[in-house]
Amino acid sequence: MKNLLSMEHVTPNEIEALITRAIDIKHGRPVMKLNDKTVVNLFYENSTRTKLSFEMAEKKLNVERLPFDVSTSSVSKGESLYDTCKTLEAIGADALVVRHPDNKYYEELEHLNIPIINGGDGSGSHPTQSLLDMMTIYENLGRICGLKIAIVGDIKHSRVAKSNAEALTKMGAEVYFSGPVELQDNTLNIPYIGIDEAVDFCDVIMLLRVQHERHESYAQMPKAEYNALYGMNKERMDNMKPDALIMHPAPINRNVEITDEVVEGEKSVIFEQMTNGVFMRMSILESVLDGEGSNNHAFEKRYAVTQ
């Protein structure tokens, strides 16, 4: 795999290979020796989980991480994203992890000769989050194909919703959206259902952060009111199927889209998602830094994601 830009560009076979490899790494299988590789993480937006899990993944792979701080770089002098990335390529970086506020920022980087891993672009896509989510679903439920999965909340502004809808559908899941009418995105060919309907029959309920900064009306809505209308709480958790999962990409607005008692409740795999983020990003880094991709290597496949 040369780049990881969006789930639109990733095939089912590549998804399966990345999940398989991430699970193998988690179970203690040997990792590649990448101590001769250098990666730069360019985060033009704030991040906790994505940035730090990439740093941890790089550390575990013995990848050299070249520090980069947007605020102290020539970006403050007006340097373009393309020129910054070409500079890092010129001085010897082997790959770049980029998070940027512009949707599809990576389209201006097509002339780069080193891999780009998209750490999130505006409200467009978040492929590494989607992959770690699918890994978590597969580990817990043993399959992805045929599952019924509801993505609930601020669909309109969520890159996680878009990436997961694309990837999960590609892998054979039945995907539904749920949330306030004002926060829906009808450009996506995904049916909308009510939260209680989703709770009744779905195998996975994936909550999304309400992005208060993007819509004043929901910033002013009382937490309890939003949760009662659209969120996950103990009553709804108790009504879910016995083996169903509750997920959230975080950061979490506690007691808004999900109540405190549910965050670490018996059906929640939210912190497991964070753990799996490190292993999935190790799998991705191996794939892009190896040149040919992990799915072309002699790693024993012990899992069939689409069975």
pLDDT tens track for 9-58: 899 999 999 999 999 999 999 999 899 999 999 999 999 999 999 999 99
**237 falls in which pLDDT band (50, 70, 90)?**
very high
What average pLDDT does this structure show over 250-258? 94
- The answer to whether the beta carbons of residues 306 and 146 sit under 8 Å apart is no
Fold: same for 7-124+276-296 and 127-272: yes
Question: Percentage of residues in the chain with pLDDT exceeding 70?
Answer: 91
pLDDT > 50? residue 297: no
So what's the pLDDT on residue 306?
40
- The answer to whether the beta carbons of residues 185 and 213 sit under 8 Å apart is no
pLDDT > 80? residue 100: yes
pLDDT > 70? residue 81: yes
Model pTM score:
0.92
- Each domain of the chain, given as residue ranges in start order, spans 7-124+276-296, 127-272
Fold of 127-272: Rossmann fold (3.40.50)
Q: What is the CA angle 161-167-171, rounded to 5?
A: 135
Q: Domain 7-124+276-296 carries which CATH code?
A: 3.40.50.1370
Tens of pLDDT, residue by residue over 147-176, are 999 999 999 999 999 999 999 999 999 999
pLDDT > 50? residue 263: yes
**217 falls in which pLDDT band (50, 70, 90)?**
low
